[in-house]
Amino acid sequence: MPYQVMLIDEASMINSTLFARLMVKISADAVVIIVGDDAQLPPIGAGNPLTDAIALKLAPTVMLTQIYRQRSEQAIALIANDVRQGIIPPYKERYEDFTFIGVDIDNRHALKRSLSANEFDEVVKTNAHNILASIAQVTLEYLPDSRAKLANKKIREYLTSFQVISPMRGHALGVDNLNILLQEYFNPNPKKKVKTVRGEYRLLDKVVHTKNENMPSYTTEQFKEGGDPAERRIFNGMCGLIFRLDEDDELCHVFYPNEEIVVQYKYEELTNLLSLSYALSVHKVQGMEYDTVVMVMSFSHLIMLNTKLLYTAITRAKGHCYIIGESAAFEASCKRLEHTNRHTVMQEL
Q: Give the highest mean pLDDT range of 69-73, 125-129, 197-201.
A: 125-129
Three-state DSSP class for residue 20: helix
b/e map 217-231, b = 16+ CB within 10 Å: bbbeeebeeeeebee
Mean pLDDT of 127-153: 97
Mean pLDDT of 8-16: 83
Which strands, in side-by-side order, build the sheet including 290-297? 98-102, 317-325, 290-297, 162-166, 279-281
pLDDT at 70 > cutoff 60: no
Residue type, 16: S
Q: CB of 135 within 8 A of CB of 324?
A: yes
* Mean pLDDT across the chain: 91
Mean pLDDT of 64-73: 62
Mean pLDDT of 14-27: 84
Q: Where are the beta strands (DSSP E) in the chain?
A: 5-8, 31-34, 98-102, 162-166, 193-196, 199-202, 206-209, 213-219, 230-234, 239-246, 251-256, 261-266, 274-276, 279-281, 290-297, 317-325
Bridge partner list, 290: 317
For domain 75-335, which architecture applies?
3-Layer(aba) Sandwich (3.40)
Give the residue extent of every domain in the chain.
5-65, 75-335
